[in-house]
Amino acid sequence: MIELSAVSEHPLTPTLSPVAGGEGVPPPLPKSTEGGREPAGPGVLLPLPRAGEGGGEGGWQRDGGSGEVPYPSSGRIDIHRLDPADAAAHARWDAFVFGCTEATFFHRAGWQKILRNVFRHDTHYLYAQRDGRIEGVLPLAHVNSLLFGNALVSLPFAVYAGVAASSDEAAAALEAEAQRLAQKLGVAHLELRHVQPRHTDWPRQDLYVTFRKTIAADDEANMLAIPRKQRAMVRKGIKNGLRADIDSDVERFFALYADNVHRHGTPALPRRYFQALRDEFGADCEVLTVLAPDGKPLSGVLSFYFRDEVLPYYAGDDLAARDLAANDFKYWELMRRAGARGIKVFDYGRSKQGTGPYAFKKNWGFEPTPLHYEYRLYKRDAVPQNNPANAKFKLMIETWRRLPLGVANWLGPYVVRNLG
């Protein structure tokens, strides 16, 4: 399926608000380290067993339900399903995610609640366990649309997901269960959005890349890392007297975002989705709004924080933002604030190769790293092409642009729930 992100890329239009950066790209998210104990969040240590550790015979089995009670395993990998109502199980899942180097912000358990409550998608959050310890997670959602297809995806509305595991056995067991589930549900395809390649023999989507770079705590070092032309745009925004606020709600952001996507011919995600993100993830979901000297909102970005990374994910701009360099100033201000709070990595999310947003991010000194969206095809012959280059969406885009904004915002949520 396709993912809706104004900062990364909307499925039916070019990126709305490109994002900024500097030089030096960190490698893709590394494989989990073997053995030892890794931090699972502030003050928490989570044991991560070695592949094959635990004694007894290998192999795995499903738990046959959604409960948290494990089978007696004697070293066997058991597959369980996360109960949406079990807070303790959610805490265990998130403890693993924060400690697993393969995991991303989109592996957090809170997305299950959002996908179910906001978009009404059935979710299948699988985790692999050995001797009572989680060794891997695979969040999945079933998206079924007449227009965009019937798929089991990890994960809708996310640029990264797929398997995050501390052992090869756990990863293999989770993927096998996902394939079994996909066939049971009768979907046309299974889609796993991995940062690193896992199956070179699976069909894949080679369209997308990600842009990531390390940032410093020093403002001047970050400023000088921006190539000269784009650095001049940042300085222009500063000279124009722009300022940035951190908002406690999504109201100003949503107004900028909804107007922006409408101009690009794209249905807007519902306001309640952004509020749900703020409610679920708290301080790890932040809204920054850029204001003109007279206080008029010009540009906004909603960002996710995960460990030592910041990911600007959704954005929107007023028509006046371009002339005042508000977009460039916005991402500089986000980078500056993130560096000051100890963030080490600025992650721009994904872009399509050969597009304007792709070029913009390179102009900021970022280098692309390919993403690996891997598929199992069951009722289709080729990987789905749900992107703006697909001719079947061009008329839809042009028609949507002509709708009154109020009508578009009313209709948008009914369409957009099946994108992602």
Encode pLDDT of 39-72 as tens digits: 333 323 223 233 333 333 344 455 544 443 333 3
Q: For residues 397 and 114, which has the higher predicted lDDT (pLDDT)?
A: 114
In this model, does residue 98 exceed pLDDT 50? yes
209-370+384-408 and 37-206 share a CATH fold: yes
Question: Please, what CATH class does the domain formed by 37-206 belong to?
Answer: alpha beta
% of the chain residues with pLDDT over 70: 73
Cα 353 versus chain centre, distance: 18
* CA atoms of 415 and 148, how far apart (whole Å): 10
Domain map of the chain by residue range? Answer: 37-206, 209-370+384-408
Calculate the alpha carbon distances from 326 to 54, 215, 318, 321 in Å: 55, 21, 9, 5
pLDDT of residue 348: 87
CATH dotted code for 209-370+384-408: 3.40.630.30
Among 133-147, 172-186, 254-268, 287-301, name the one with the lowest average pLDDT: 254-268
Give the chain's length.
420
Q: Which of 87-91, 302-306, 326-330, 408-412 has the lowest mean pLDDT?
A: 408-412
pLDDT (tens digit, 9 = 90+) per residue, 188-216? Answer: 999 999 999 999 999 998 889 999 999 99
C-alpha span between 151 and 85 (Å, rounded): 25
| pLDDT for 392 | 59
Residue with the bigger pLDDT between 282 and 406: it is 282
Residue 406 makes CB contacts below 8 A (sequence gap 6+) with none
User: Would you say residue 21 has pLDDT above 70?
Assistant: no
pLDDT in tens, 381-407: 888 765 555 555 666 666 656 667 666
Q: Which residues make Cβ contacts (< 8 Å) with residue 392, sequence separation at least 6?
A: none
Q: Supply the mean pLDDT for the chain.
A: 81
Rounded average pLDDT over 67-95: 81
Is the pLDDT score of 218 beyond 60?
A: yes
More confident residue, 28 or 178: 178
pTM of the shown model = 0.80
Q: Between these two residues, 261 and 108, which has the higher pLDDT value?
A: 108
Mean of pLDDT values over 113-139: 96
